[in-house]
């Protein structure tokens, strides 16, 4: 069996919405690093995750997790999906919308990307 090649993250953003264009460009709308809920628990109706990867090879399984930072509690895991790298240089975009994410308390949360069950990158969101 061939070794699994783990891609490299060029960027990972959280936003309200994203729009893909026919020419391959993506518009990210409402990029954020903090959420300011009035009450807890807070349910975020829609959370979009966008990541750009390169350096992968062939079909690559991936998924996202959300964890609370202070105790590493798993808040959400997405289903595993697959992306295809046609070569090691061309960037590949992943955009996924998560609905109904519940944050039980204020604090820092990490949104992480895993490819081939290996951590690739993450970003933080502060709930203040």
Residue 24 confidence (pLDDT): 84
Alpha-carbon dihedral sign for residues 117, 123, 127, 128? positive
Which domains are delineated in the chain? 8-127 (2.60.40.10)
Residue 3 confidence (pLDDT): 78
d(CA 109, CA 120): 17
Question: Nearest Cα to 4, choosing from 122, 93, 112, 120?
Answer: 120
d(CA 22, CA 24): 5
d(CA 37, CA 125): 12
- Mind listing the pLDDT tens digit for each residue in 26-64? 999 999 999 999 999 999 999 999 999 999 999 999 999
Average pLDDT over all residues of the chain: 95
Is the pTM value of this prediction over 0.85?
yes
Q: Is residue 1's pLDDT more than 70?
A: no
Residue 2 confidence (pLDDT): 60
């Amino acid at each position: 069996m061939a070794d699994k090649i783990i891609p490299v993250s060029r960027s990972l953003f959280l936003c309200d919405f994203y729009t893909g264009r026919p020419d391959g460009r993506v518009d990210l709308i409402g990029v954020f690093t903090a959420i300011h809920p009035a009450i807890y628990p807070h349910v975020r109706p829609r959370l979009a995750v966008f990541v750009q990867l390169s350096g992968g090879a062939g079909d690559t399984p991936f998924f996202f997790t959300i964890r609370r930072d202070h105790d590493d509690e798993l808040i959400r895991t997405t289903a595993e999906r697959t992306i295809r790298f046609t070569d090691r240089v061309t960037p590949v975009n992943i955009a996924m919308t998560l609905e109904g994410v519940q944050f039980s308390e204020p604090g820092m949360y990490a949104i992480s990307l895993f490819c081939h069950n290996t951590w690739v990158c993450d970003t933080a969101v502060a709930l203040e």
